[in-house]
Each structure stands twice: as structure tokens, then as C-alpha cells.
Structure 1
Amino acid sequence: MKLFPNTVKGVVYAIDEIFNQKKYADKVIEKTLKSNPKWGARDRGFVAESVYEMVRWWRLINEVSPSKDLYHLFGTYWLLQGKSLPDWREFKGLEPEKIKARFERIKENRALKQSIPDWMDQMGSELLGEKWDKEIDTLNQQAEVVLRVNTLKITREDLMNRLAAEGIQTYAPKGYKDALVLAQRQNIFKNPAFKEGLFEVQDASSQLVAAALDVEPGMRVIDACAGAGGKSLHLAALMQNKGRILSMDVEEWKLQNTKLRARRNGVSIIEPKVIEGNKTIKRLKESADRVLLDVPCSGLGVLKRNPDTKWKLSPESIEKVQGIQQEILQNYSSMVKPGGLLVYATCSILPSENQQQVEKFLASEKGKDFELIEDQKVLAQESGFDGFYIAKIARKKEQTA
């Protein structure tokens, strides 16, 4: 593939913003593409993919590059893929054989080879044991683009056929009844079917969460950490747009996004509500048939699509988020009616954020009225999609005194 100065410059600019100015990769890429409207689809794809892959392999690239110069780092990334560099002055001093030799010297070190911090490698190894090696290898692969069909408006088969007629090939993965996977990565948001609300982009593992709530039309459901509302929208479709869904979050701007998405999806049963403090939760005591706690987490299960997460996390930040998770479980569980169902979910693969949190809750005073029905530990190496954890916890009908 031929390199062009303007697009390589775009990649270098983006990498500078992400690592030297500490900005989020997705926001930087979005800004970079908007700033260069004359780039065609191929150019835009090259820039976005190169930036994400450089972020993914950042530690490895730095380890084998002869310098920290951003053009040298890009050139090293390019050579590591077995490609050749043009004779530009920015790439002077880059010798393919030396880079290859450096890579050979470090490839027995898993943390370097997999391009992750040492602490993360140690934590993953301690908590996942022999599964860690394959799991981190899988999480370093590029994520597929997965659609969730909006069954309020179209069937999966009809959407598949419509996209195929436009030259967009998809396949339906087994075990995910509303999912379609794109055969080839592309910007699907510009497709008219998206604007018509026929689908959302949502990983297949994430689609398991709403399904775990076993909702029925007419139920009262609370999505207590709703964010931008992706799982609320899925719940509304599963409920056939009948009943009531309270989509709650501490951030009002996220809920504004939920409103817009609900309108596009043809959903009328979602009511956004800002959590202003404990009073908001107390007023909803024992009011819901189903409560979803898709809690804040480390995000270690979604490194495929958010590779910059591994450079923003620390052992301290994971410990802090575990405190938040337990606090949410302790306080928000009060909103479940006796006989109702609570689902606790994370996009993490760490037992310390998952089953250990559920065990701690059930052993506590507030957890004594609940019992674990089942849980799913979804590893990327087994599913091919994101890593997730989903626990179904029932509130007993007979409350203990």
C-alpha cells in the first residue's frame, strides 16, 4: 500500500494528541477526520485504522523503535507489519533489519509482545490463570462491527437482505438473535437504514445483557446506569414498546443522547431521569419488576474497540471503580420489587469486578433478601466478541426480618 504525506501527517497529529495531550482516541480520530473533509473513504479508513492500531501496540512500537520521534514510531509500526517505507527524510534512520532484530529479542516477554503495562499482565495472570495468555491475545485483535437489529421496525432477515441489496454483506452469529456482523468494516452510520432507526451498533456480548433481564411487555424496568441508552433501547424492543423504562444516569448529557436515539428507534416508553443523589433512589424503593445495573468498570473486556483504555487504567483506578460498583449494588438494589430481578453487568473480565462483587453483595446485610440465579462469564477468546460478565440476581418474595 502506498503512503501519502498528508494522511501520514494526520496519523502523526492524532497520535500526538492522544499520547502527549492525553485526549481520548475516538474523539481525536473524529476531530482529525472532520478537519480533513477532502479525504476519501480509503484515506479516512487508513487514518482511523492506523491510529487505533498504533494506540493498541504503543508499548511494543516504542520498545523496538530507534527513537521517540513520531514519524519514527509510525515507520516502526509500518515495518512491523512487513510493509516497506518510502524514501522520505522523516523515515531516515529506520532500518527494517534492526527493528526486526529488536522485536525478536523482546517477543518472549508477554507484556511487551502484547503491548500492555506490566501491572496489567500480572493482574490478568493472577486472576485468570492459564486463560490470560489467550485472552489478552484475543483482546488485541481488531473488533468486528456488530449491529443490533431494531425488531420494532424490521426483522433480522429483512435488514440483512436490505443491506445485501446495497452491497453490504453481513452474517448472523449463532446465539445472538438480534445481531448481525458486518463482513467488512465500514462507516455504517451514514447508511439510510441507520437514520431510519432500523439498527444500532452494539457488540454481540453487550446484547446478552438486556436479554438476561427476561422482560415482558407491560413491565416497569429501571436501567440505572443507562449512559447513552443502548441497553434501554434493546429492552424497549424486547418489551415490544409496551410498559415503562426509567433510564437513569448521573450525567444529564448522556440522557439527552438517549432521547434522540429513542426517537430514531420509534421507542416511546423510555423516560430519562437524572440521578441527583440518594433521594432519587430512595423514592423508587421496590418500584421495579426489573433493574439493570450495567455498572462503571475497568473496561478490560472491550480493549478490542477501546485500545487506549490500557494506557489510562492503573491498579488504583480499578480499585476505585470496585468501590463504586459495590456502592451501586448496595444502594440501587432497593429499587427491585420482592419477586423481581436484578441484573449486574460489567464489560470487564476480572473476577474482582464480577463474581467477587456479587458474592460480597449477597453476603452483606442488604444482600440477604437476594439470591444468585445464574451468571455468565463471557471471555473474548470463547465468544469472539467483547468480554462481559452478567449476573441474574432474584429478590426473594418473602423478605427476611
Structure 2
Amino acid sequence: MSNSFGRVLTVTTFGESHGPAIGCVIDGFPPGIEISAEEIRSELMRRATGQSRHTSQRREQEDVQILSGVFEGRTTGTPIALLIYNTDARSKDYSRIAAQFRPGHADYTYHHKYGLRDYRGGGRSSARETAMRVAAGALARKYLKDRLGVEVVGWLAQIGDQVCDERFDPAAIDSNPFFCPDPERVPELEDFMKRLWKSGDSVGALVKARATGVPVGLGAPVYAKLDGDLAAAMMSINAVKGVEIGAGFASVSQKGTEHRDEITPAGFESNHAGGVLGGISTGQPVDVAVAFKPTSSLRLPGRTVDVRGEPVEIITTGRHDPCVGIRAVPIVEAMLALTILDHYLLHRAQCGDVGPQEPRIPT
């Protein structure tokens, strides 16, 4: 179904931006993992609005309720149901544009597909839905780290024309509101965002994420490739318009002698493949880069039509991100973790009795 993700580990999300609550059901999650509502909420607060003046000022408490699948602090192997009540929705902000199609949004397509739409904040098409991906991702990250030693980290690589990761300090990523790995760039980003906010316009962003410690052998030919599923997972995130694995589009200008990741007894010489060959993980870091378009909800007037097809001028009021890519870092991390865990469980189901193969190449 269109609201479910995964093969063995299945995540189904539900709810609308301005409905009473959002939630998800996680089916197929292994038993015995220690998890608490507080741990999940800590991940949710990394994604939450209102954390700085550079994001939407909607302030949700993100108090997650674990309704099932966890007993005495451990997952039981049964479906895990999570629920978050919406506490700071302002539907009246959208009453003026209820009969208008916002350019760059899903209003027009939802209207034609379903014959009606929830105009309050975009309804189901709102990025509010991604909170449940982060909640589910918190469990996936916990399993990957505790059982497999897999670490997932994401960062803001570029915002507009501002490159953010020429210098990379992973310890700096969570110490600033931009998820920027270069602390020296933060004051410049502050100034950039301040000017952007005053202009009333928006800008796109590039988010990168990396998973280290990924076992060799995850993914399968031909329609269950790890990189193929990663691309689909990332493209399912709101506002995403491009995905790269490894060298990505830079591969176009590379020579084969440069792009191929030569192998020696000491390991791979490079990682242009992004940790995936033939759709199967190599044991190297899995690298993904995700391009986010500029926010389409603007206070600057623009042209559109209403539900009768009449031309109108539209101004979107309410609380919106001038750059959705900033808060997208935890979402990209979550989708990377969920995809890897789903493939690990799929691999274990099919190839659990396949022993280590020789030679063992260091990664």
C-alpha cells in the first residue's frame, strides 16, 4: 500500500498535518531491543520545528505514546504502535487559500486524484508525516547500533549556494541548528538565513548521510537492490528531487580508471560506489546524498488558479520553513537506517545459514 514501507520490516504511517494525531505501526521489528518513549522523543526533537529561528515556528511537544509492541522496556516482536497528538496546529492560517492551488505543492494533484483534499497545511502531503519516520527510525538505529555496530550519521552539506562540509567534524553536527559539520561556517549560515528570511523567499539544500559498519551482502538482484531501495526511500521524503549514491552524478565526468574502486589485500582503495556493488553492500560506508527543493509556501505573491480554474494571486500565510532541508537531516538518517535494517532482516531470512566467505577484505 502507498502508506507502507519495507518488506520484512514494515512501517505504516497515518494522520494529517492538522488532524488530531499522527502515528505509525511498525511490524516485523525484532524482539528484545531496549527502547523508551524518551529515546524516541530525543530523535523527534532533532527534527522538530521551533528549535531555532531558521525553521517553522510551529511548536509541537512530540510526546510519543507507545501503544503496543513494547513490554517492560523491550520490544516483544509484535507490532509496535506509536502515536503523537498534534498540539499546535493553526488551521485558520489556511482558510483564505482553501479554494486555491498552491504552486509547487500537492494541492492540484491531490484534488485531481481524490476529488477532494485536506487544505489544512497540506493534509497527508505535509512534512508533518515525516515525524513518524523519525520515530520508527529511532528503533531501527538502536537495533543497528546495538546488534550490528552500524552507525548512521547525516549532515547538511549545502544550503543554496553555501557549501557546508568542506571541513568535516562529526562532533559539530548536533551542536548547531544547521546540522553543519563545519562549526566555522555556522555564523555565515546564520547571516545567510537572516537575509533569506527578510527577503521572504526560500532555498533548497543538499543533505548527506552515511552508514558505517554495514555488513557485506545486504541487498539482492535484480529488483531488491540496496541502492535502488535507498533511492526510493529518499525520494519518498517530501520535497526531495534528487538522490545520489556514492559519486552519483559526478560519475558522468569520471574516467573508468578513476571511478572503479580498486581492491587490494588491505581493502578498497576508494568508495565511488557508495558502499554498494550490483545492488549488494560491500562492507564499505553506504553514502547517500539527497537534494531538497526550495519551500513553495511563500509570503511573496504568486500566480495560480482556484478550484474553478480562475486565475488568482496567492500568498501563503502561516508558519513555514525557509529551507526544509535543515530539518530533513534526521529524516534522511531515519530512512537510511530503516532501509538497511529491512535489508538485513531480508538477508537473514534468505541467507542466514551462509557462512563467511574468503577472501575477507578489510573495509
TM range (shorter): under 0.3
TM-score (norm 2): 0.27
Greater radius of gyration (CA): 1
Higher relative contact order (CA 8 A, sep 6+): 2
TM-score (norm 1): 0.25
